[in-house]
A and B are shown apart, each in its own frame.
Chain A
Amino acid sequence: MSNFFNKSDLSRKDAENIVSETLNNCDDGELYLENSKSESIILDDNKIKSSSYSSDLGYGLRAVTGEVVAYSHSNEISRNSLKQSSENLYSTLKSKKGTYNHTITKTNEKFYEDINPIEEKSLNSKLELLKEVNNYTRSKGAIVQQVTASFAGEHKFIEIIRSGGEILTDVRPLIRFNVSVMLEKNGKKETGIYGIGGRQSYDEYLKNDNWKKVCDEAFRIASVNLKSKPAPAGEMKVVLGPGWPAILIHEAIGHGLEGDFNRKKTSAFHNLMGERVASEGVTIVDDGTLHKKRGSLTIDDEGTPTERTVLIENGILKNFMQDRLNARLMNTKSTGNGRRESYQHVVLPRMRNTMMLNGKHTQEEMIKSVDKGIFAVSFGGGQVDITSGKFVFNCTEAYEIINGKIGSSIKGATLIGDGPSILKEVSLVGNNMMLDPGIGTCGKAGQGVPVGVAQPSILINKMTVGGTRL
């Protein structure tokens, strides 16, 4: 637990008073306080390249009236600083005639434990383990030219003080373990990257030689790419593997279903509520309640408990993802998707764990049905243009499919598609839904937040593959 006020000339009572005064005649707003610790240890080129630790403290004061948000943040928690922030908000919101919405749902449910993963494992043991990771991965042969392995841990305590003195708190652990391998054979170099993580202690991921699986996977991906040939170029059928490839869902339609873009009518989905946006059999949810998963939150950054929000049910658009501001302006309720990277950032509607649910087909069936296409197993990053709906993602492991059989591996290529139409092109949904290993970070308006994705294998009728082979 953290007490933001015991080393400050600002008492909790003072803070509550300033918040209530500032938010008088506003529709919403709060004081958000954050105390976060993070560490990063990186082994690279056979050496510990860096070990760093960071301790951050700060607040953000937000006032919302109508469609207008006024925000002021600082890392100095003092009476003067908060007063100055309050004055800044006043000067922006000259005419305000809102009524503060005091309603906020409470919850007793927690989706992760109150632990500090950084302190749970000694630095020495983390350093030792990275050394072991390096030795183990390099022992796979002389073709291993470079190994990078890293731990990142975070412990974030947040407190929200609302007008009237209502207080909400959350303690959020987060860790990540990552291995990257570069192989060289006959003058050709390729990399493979794999990682795992979530909201729990390092031990959960590193016991029983779980870390070896991460090294094996990074090595395997790099080995596959060493044998890869140039990717084809043009429109063709695409089978996506289960798990992490669901970043297609995240980019292609997830962002387009965030409340702000739809309230502002800049999303290609804004006038499609209740309409068919995907093939029958396609159901997509955004779930913040999965235990210890990277995208999960007990409460969001406005204090709303998270939930499992059905976005698309059997192909029909059912809900957008909402924070309090956009929900109020669209006459609906917050779905617990109000998130911010830190106290330095305003709240935006953001995804949590975005998942396409199981259908009834097998991956084998899908591959058999394809004459000419590709089978994409793993991806790097993706990006979307919300307005035109065009999205891309980059394959890091993919194969050709010829006459219903998996052929040789192909070089990393970008796949491009159109968000609003891509889900209508999904012709088969698999029965093998899988969550990603816990490595996703989503960027929006310059803010990064941890997210998860999940899907079964799916068959897409046509997508453009950005290879070099015509």
Chain B
Amino acid sequence: MTAVATLGRLTAAYLTVALLALLGGVVTGLAQGLEHAGINVYPALAPVVQSYYHGLSLHGVLNVLVWTTFFICGFLPFIAVQAFDVPLAAPRLGWFTFWLMTGGLLLAAIPLVGNAATVMFTFYPPLKAHWAFYVGLTLVVVGTWLVTLNLALTRQAWRRTHPGERTPLPAFMALVTFTMWTLASAGLAAEMLFLTIPWSLGLVAGTDALLARVLFWFTGHPIVYFWLLPAYISWYTIVPRQAGGRLFSDPLARASFLLFLVLSTPLGFHHQYTDPGIHEGWKLVHAFLTFAVFFPSLLTFFNVVASLESGARARGGRGWVAWFAKLPWGDPSVAAQVLAMLLFAFGGIGGLINASVSLNLLVHNTAWIPGHLHLTVGTAVTLSFMGITYWLVPMLSGRALWSRRLALVQVWLWVGGMVIFSNALHRLGLMGMPRRTMIGAAAYIQPEWKPVLPLVAVGGTILTLSALLYFANLALTLVVSRAPYPHGLMFAEAMSGPDHAPAIFDRLRPWLVLAVALIALAYGPSLAYLLATTPFDSPGMRVW
């Protein structure tokens, strides 16, 4: 078997777990959407889903943590190995990693499904979940580090046979993504190892809410780049080719990813603008760095759109904007990802609003935030990943997609449902409706919320329908489809290739040093102060 075919099985294994998690999260999500419109289905779901908040925790953990992470750990090594054209350096380690992560997931799933970890995907102490939840999630994180190791070893092996060559762009981007994540996940790892695990096991009596939040958001913002960058990799290196064009600039793409490596982490305080106990000055430093990370996003926007434009023009597109209509809209993989980019533009604007110190006070912890999250991780990432699976699943199974038309319907339903759903949540947030709240049961529903709340259910229902069509199409592809699908993934060529970039754009270490220095600067003083003054006197409790 070829190297790629061997890896294909590992990728398929990750994809299976990811898709099951997505399915679970979608089903629980529907119940939440209906609840906001006053349709309480939870009595019918008991004892599987024991409360609104139990369902919400399942939804968040399954969709935001599991679906993304398992997809990425399957997809990026697949891309990297294809681009390197050498086998994964340590295939046994690869399988060990998969089983470690899956074992961790199952361990965490026991209390989560059993309503002993109804603490949301942010699990802010002193809400106290069962220890297996924290230990299981920690094993998943450790697994992601082993993926980084395997990618680094693979690059080393490639380097031996290709001395002096530039790392192929898709592989380089995969490595940068995992390097960034490994560095960023240090906060979460510290929270787990030093705070939540010993505390949930009863080894220490107390914990601290603020320190836990600081460590969580150390990882909690860069984790969105860990989800987003794999979608960017597809937008940069695969979608332009699918659209019949070329990547506009390889050096600019590298520069953008290296800036994400440097800038993704030292800005977590923008999730904590309203937390007491962190000095306002440091919050402003993180606000500044948040605006700085907007820069590589703008570079990506330009480069990806220019690449799409080259494809559309090659297909006969004309004009400044009209070329857009000439993209291959009949290809569900392209349609999904281009539409994901479009909605992501609104997610990006919303993100800037969230980062803006004074505007954040209007929207923090309101329904605006899940509205934003569903445009970013729920569309830019999820709809792109769906678009990727429209070629990846056929490639791994050797069977053509069962129905392209059904896939197109699914993609447009997702966009339509999301526009309704996300717009409703954004508006409700601006009207002061809190997030993560069983609104249908609240005594304080304001009159101005009432006309908008049903739209949450309408949008959510359309999204669920779209997701079910998606799963049906994939299942029928595996079971019914008989048309063959050729193996072999083609990346977009670049108009301006890697040789036009300075050599430092192909190195990781100097940028990693810069990233660590910036993190030390942005987080060092606040963390040192907290570690020196925190008494760890919150006992913690189960309140669900």
Are A and B co-members of a single complex?
Answer: no
Q: Which residues of B contact A (CB under 8 A)?
A: none
